[in-house]
Every structure is written in structure tokens, then in C-alpha cells.
Amino acid sequence: MIKSLVKKGEYYDSVSLMIVGKDVSNMENVIEATVVMATKENKSILKTAGLYLDEFKQYDDTDLLIVVKSDREDKFTEIFEKVDNLLIEIRNRKDDSGSFTPKSLEGAINYQPESNLVLISIAGRYAGREAMKALKQGLHVMLFSDNVPLETEIELKKYALANDLLVMGPDCGTAIINDVPLAFSNAVNKGNIGIVAASGTGLQEVSSIISEEGFGISQAIGTGGRDIKEEVGGKMFISALNALKNDDDTRVIVLVSKPPHPSVLKKINAELKGLTKPVVSIFLGADRNLVEVNGVVAASTLEEAALLACAISENVEVSKVTEFLEARRSSYGTIAEKEVKNISSGRKYIRGLFSGGTLCDETQIILKKDIENIFSNRSGDEKHALDDSWISKEHSLVDLGEDEFTVGRLHPMMDFDLRNKRIIQEAKDKETAIILFDLVLGYGANMDPIAEILPIIKQAQAIAPGISYICSVTGTEQDPQNRENVIKTLEENNVLVMPTNTAAAEIVALILKNL
């Protein structure tokens, strides 16, 4: 039986809802439960999970839905009373650290006047107003919030440029400024490689690989993905490039993004022409020659970009990187053959479930070289766009960090609930051959990813032992979660862990061809 408790007009932030939701799910006599705001997207999730009730039509974004599935009708009243108490506790919870927590931007500035950067993470409809207030106080801005109107972004960035300030974002998930990791970022070595990225997980993947190779980052500046679109004009991408050009601690510059709009690329190329520092570019899916005309070393994958930057930093011939990657690819045959033997007859499709949008994009690009008809909610063409992002179709790659999944709930790097449900859903599909997923570690991400995902992997393996489970882990050994330990535990539980997202996509392509 499924019953609900609705609290009309009661708003709770997504962190609080995740905490309460997990507590409710662990209650006695509860088979399944969810605690979410009644957004359109969350209602879609409830429908897919089989937890939707017709009465939910009348509720909207400001209403709280508590939905419980139980086989004990006599226990619902007791369960909902406990939920009430949990909500009261979470709302009255106090920070016991003893530190002063300002309630406004003005209060924070008064308390800490020496700071020159503000990180904003509030609902998108309010974020632009707070960002402009910060800019007018002379502060650089990292705007983590998504769903900020495009015209607001343009206004903010025009003001920032006129006043020699940076606006990183909206929807900027990652930055490392003066050794300080912001939002989703990793514990990386200090070094002489600077990064400008219109991609959060792209920045994380490249910076982590660089650090794991023994090199380091001077500055890593995110811009938000829309910055390289025609409307915004690459304002912050170019501003960040110029900042690294003038930074004495930066010797090599890496540019990371999807292909910029041609008008924006023209501006970027103009800035690169007079640049004396070596530059590596990875414009995922673009023609390498777009920027090579300016002497920039162009990469095809995130991993290649990272390794090229390391080689240039150490004055090693860049051809060595190509040789290494080709040799590694040639060694994958044995691994692929072994995986194919473990896949049951009749299974033929890849189901990729990503928390990193750029990692999803890179996988699509690599697979499309050899595999036809790959569908995604991040497809570049309508023909291969998923009709319903909640339901896979043939070969499917889904970015669970897209707005359709995150409005009113935590990003999947923090909250694994949606992906866990999707893993079980894919395992029950008799045509699923491979479940590919990423784990992105670091600050801001889930602090105990193994505890979250391993029970689900085991459950899926029990449902469908004839599926290959493949993973890449973005992060470093210095990260709070410790990349080495995460990989070791996954491998001990029959998950094939590849060294990078690039490598994971390449092995999947080989397995599918062999199938």
C-alpha cells in the first residue's frame, strides 16, 4: 500500500529532505519512501518509481510530499508521526560548531571584510539578485545555482567585465582558486598548470588526472556551460584565459568545454594568437583543427588533454602521450573478451548512468565512432534524444545531473537515490548487457560513496548476474573518500574499474563490438 502525507506551503532545502528521506526509508515497516517538494520533475520521478498518487496533481513546488510504501496499513499513522518529528528536528537543528553563521550577504561581509569572493548556492530565481549585490560590493562571484535566467547571466557578466571581476557560473560546479577547492572539486597538487573550463566534471576529471600523474594545478576557473554560447559570448572564458595568461604561477593553460559557438571561438582564437604560454584545448566533439591553427595542442579526450598538459609541463615530447594511449588501447582485447564471456546471451545494450554531464558527453563521442543509435538526454540531435529520460531505449546514456532530475533535489554526486533506483531498473531489463557509471569524488560529493552504491550493485548483480558492471572514478588519493580505497572495494565486488572516463568508454566500445 502507498499512502502520503502532504504539507502544503512548507519548504525544506534538498539537503534536509535527503537526510529525512533516508531516515524514513530505514524505518521499521517501510518498504520504500521518498520525501520531496512537489515539483513537476519530482512528480515524474514518483511516477517512474511507482509511488505517484492522483491527488498530487493539485500540489506544486512549495508543497512537501512524504510518500510511504508499506505492507502494514495499521502502521502508517505511527510512521507519519515519526516523519513529523524528524521534520521538526531538522528545522530546529542548530550548528554546534560554535562559529558565527551570518544570515545574509551583508552580514557575511561585515563579519569577514577581507574576503573578495562569494559562493552563491540558492534557488535560481533569487541567485542573480544576490550575485549582483556581491559584484557591487567588489566581490568576485562563484554562482553554483542553476536555473538562473540567461538575461540575468548576461547582465551579471557585463557588469563584472566592466569592473574587473569574475563571475563563475551560473551552474558553475567546480573551481580551485589559490588552493581553495570550491563546490565540487578535488584535493589536487599545487603546480603550474592552469585550467579554464565551461564544464564542471570536465574540470574535475582533467585536474584529478593531472594530480594523479604527479603534477599540479595553479588555478582552475569554471565559467558555467552557457558562457561559450553565442548569447553570452564567452565573456568569462576569455576573462579567465587572460587571468591565467598574466599569472606568474601558471606555465601551461588547459581549455575545457564543449565546442564554443563559432562567434565565441573566433574571440578565443584572437586571444590565443599572441599568447606565449603553451595551451592545450579539449573542445569535446569538435574538429581538432579548430584551434590548432594558433599553435594550440588539441586533444580528443579529457584524459589526453590532461596527459598533454603534464608532458608539456615537463618538456616531454607530446608524441609520447599518443604512443602511451595507443599502447593501452591495444591491451584491452583480453579484458573485453573476459567481460563478453560473463554477459548472458540475448543481452546487447549499454546503459550509462552518469552524475557528470561532460563524462556522459565524452562517452557518447567515443562510442559513436563504432556504435550506432546511442540515445541520451544530452544528445546533440533530435533523432537520438530519449523520448523519456526516465526510460532507457536501446543503447542509452543518461546524465542524472540534468535539470530535469535536479530541480528540487540534490545533485546526484551527493544523493545517489535516483541512480540507485535506475541501476535496479536497468538490471531488470533482459536486454541490458553493460551498466556503466561514474563515481565523482571530492569536496561537496557524497562522503561515503561505497556505502551508498555497493548494496545496490550487489542487489543488481543478484537480479541479473549476466551483466557487466563498469565504472570510472574521478578523484585523487588525497580526496576525503580516497580514490584508491573506492577502486579496491569496487573491484573486490566484480566491478570493472577503468583508470579514466575515456578508458571506460573505450573498453565499453570494444565489448559491444565483440558482442
The pLDDT value recorded for residue 95 is 55
The pLDDT value recorded for residue 101 is 75
Lowest mean pLDDT across 101-110, 308-317, 476-485: 101-110
For 247, other C-beta atoms within 10 Å of its C-beta total 15
Identify the band that residue 435 occupies on the pLDDT scale cut at 50, 70 and 90: very high
Identify the band that residue 329 occupies on the pLDDT scale cut at 50, 70 and 90: very high
Identify the band that residue 14 occupies on the pLDDT scale cut at 50, 70 and 90: confident
Q: Are 272 and 237 in contact (CB under 8 A)?
A: no
Burial class (CB in 10 A: 0-12, 13-18, 19+), 259: middle
The pLDDT value recorded for residue 382 is 85
Identify the band that residue 44 occupies on the pLDDT scale cut at 50, 70 and 90: confident
333-347: pLDDT as tens digits:
999 999 999 999 999
Cα–Cα nearest to 291, from 325, 331, 256: 256
Whether residue 96 is predicted with pLDDT greater than 60 in this model: the reply is: no
Percent of the chain with pLDDT over 70: 98
Identify the band that residue 132 occupies on the pLDDT scale cut at 50, 70 and 90: very high
User: In sequence order, what are the residues at sequence separation of 6 or more whose Cβ sits closer than 8 angstroms to the Cβ of residue 253?
Assistant: 193, 194, 195, 196, 241, 244, 245, 275, 277, 278, 279, 280
Identify the band that residue 94 occupies on the pLDDT scale cut at 50, 70 and 90: low
- Asked, as a colleague might, if the bond just before 170 is cis with ω within 30 of 0, I would say yes
Identify the band that residue 491 occupies on the pLDDT scale cut at 50, 70 and 90: very high
Identify the band that residue 282 occupies on the pLDDT scale cut at 50, 70 and 90: very high
Percent of the chain with pLDDT over 90: 77
Domains defined along the chain, listed by start: 2-92 (3.30.70), 105-321 (3.40.50.261), 331-514 (3.40.50.261)
pTM for the predicted model, two decimal places: 0.89
Beta strands in 145-303 (DSSP E): 167-168, 174-177, 180-183, 190-197, 217-222, 252-257, 279-283, 297-298
Question: Is 474 in a helix, a strand, or coil?
Answer: strand
Average pLDDT over all residues of the chain: 92
